[in-house]
Amino acid sequence: MLSKTLEDIKRNNYQVEIFGLGYVGFPLAVRLASNGLRVIGIDTSTNRINRLINNLLMDTELRLKTEFFSSRNNGNLELTISPAKSDRPKIGIICVPTPIPDGITTSDVFVRSATENFLGFAKQGDMIILESSIEVGTTERIKELIESKGFTVGKDFGLGFCPERIDPDNKEWHIENIPRVIYCSDDVSFDIAKQIYKYVNNASLIRVNEPKIAEIVKSFENAFRLVNISLVNELAILCDKLGINVKNVIDAAATKPFGFLPHYPGAGAGGHCIPKDPRFLLESARKFSSNFSTIENALKVNAYMPKYISDSIEKSLEKMNLPKSVLVCGLSYKANVEDMRDSASFKVITELKSKGFKVFGYDPFFKSDHIEKYLIENNLKELNFEVTKEIDEKILLQVSCLCIIQHHQMTKKKIDEIYENSLVPFIYDCQNKISKNSASRTILDYLGD
């Protein structure tokens, strides 16, 4: 059955159903559809589907607008909230969120429901590829789910897990050139996957022979990032005390041609991946009554950074005898992206508010009609700061400190101008990016200096 699917794929007589049209699923859908594949983009959020149908893309998706519009116009990309029956072979690619398990919700809750939806219209010869970052054991549980519907995985139904490695705003490494690790239930399924991923990353696939290996690889990659970010953040705290610049230390260390990979400090790792995926390893360790203390400590350091930053700002303002008012700039979890999920900025703001600060927040990506979404994504009941649509003189006159959490390219000119023209008494730069200028009367402090 799967061999027949492979033949159909070679004749382009098949369709790809992508479940979840977010940061991972949307670019994948556009890429496959613009390469001539028949793609059905499925998202349970009617709001998301309606926005896409009305050509309303997110800021960072605008670079894909030509391919998206032409795929919509030539009928290669259909958008819907649920799949339908098709006589052609179908490959379902699952790109839905995977939350941290909390005792009530399991991390695979959306992966399972998307799989169930696919299976509702599946037939022999179809295949599912999981791209979401999943906990150890999920692929095997999905196999059981598929087999509970009467299919035999590896014989008449294909299953793969190919974790996405996308790094938003990375100019060098993107969906087209990042090699991918993949597990496939059988050789034909791997050949099918190669036929699809040749349009994604030229089929640069590293096959591993056990699903658990691929599952651990994904979580471990992000644990590596988390641990290293936490390591440099603790180094930054030490450098603050020593009065030396942490970036100078890291840049000098990075001259070692082997065995060192530079990471830079900041207010803490956020987003839907780095603080979350390592927890999947903790969950696995717990199931064996074992610890993963490096990850536990890294998570603690990560959680501490917003308090450290707000304490530093408070102390500096006290010394300068200035009122407790701050403009926090760069609210997303990473520079140059609009993603506000689990963002350190919201945590810094919460800390500052608990100290009685008046807080303003600015981000060129912030959209007032997405406030409800931001609150859910940051586990907040209400917005605890005043949003400013631009950084103008009126706002600057009301604050003692400009705290930069993320340096977006779009705000660089404005921030340089504020510093050079001494438009605020104090700037706290969490990313060590503003160049010191002795002509400025603004006191500039870096995290780790």
* Residues at the interface with ligand NAD (CB under 6 A): 19-25, 42-45, 48, 95-98, 110, 113-114, 132-133, 164, 166, 168, 272-273
Of 45 and 105, which has the nearer Cβ to ligand NAD?
45
Q: Got the DSSP string for 3-50?
A: HHHHHHHHTT--EEEEE--STTHHHHHHHHHHTT-EEEEE-S-HHHHH
The one-letter amino acid at 174: H
**38-42: strand order across its sheet:** 77-80, 38-42, 15-19, 90-94, 127-130, 158-161, 180-184, 205-208
**Do the bridges between strand 180-184 and strand 158-161 make them parallel or antiparallel, or are there none, so unpaired?**
antiparallel
For ligand NAD, which is the closer residue by CB, 132 or 406?
A: 132
Q: Work out how close the CB of 344 gets to ligand NAD at its nearest, in angstroms, rounded to a whole number.
A: 16
Q: How far is the CB of 243 from ligand NAD (least distance, A)?
A: 36
Residue 184 annotated among the catalytic residues of the structure: no
Residue whose Cβ sits closest to ligand NAD: 22
CB of 147 to ligand NAD, least distance (A): 20
Q: Give the nearest distance from C-beta 133 to ligand NAD in angstroms.
A: 4
What is the SS3 assignment for 71? helix
Active-site hit among 90, 143, 194, 218:
218
Catalytic residue check, 273: yes
Please tell me whether residue 340 adopts helix, strand or coil conformation.
Answer: coil
Least Å distance, CB 131 to ligand NAD, is 6
CA distance 364 to 359: 17
Q: Which residue, 118 or 362, is less far from ligand NAD as judged by CB?
A: 118
Please list the alpha-helical segments (H only) found in 243-381.
246-253, 277-287, 293-320, 344-354, 371-377
Order of strands, sheet of 426-429, starting from the edge strand that comes earlier in the sequence: 386-387, 358-362, 325-329, 401-404, 426-429, 443-446
Nearer to ligand NAD, 131 or 429 (CB): 131
Nearer to ligand NAD, 166 or 395 (CB): 166
> What is the DSSP code (8-state) at residue 368?
G
Among 95, 184, 239, 273, the one annotated catalytic: 273
Locate tokens 């830079």: which residue? 264
- Catalytic residue numbers? 218, 273
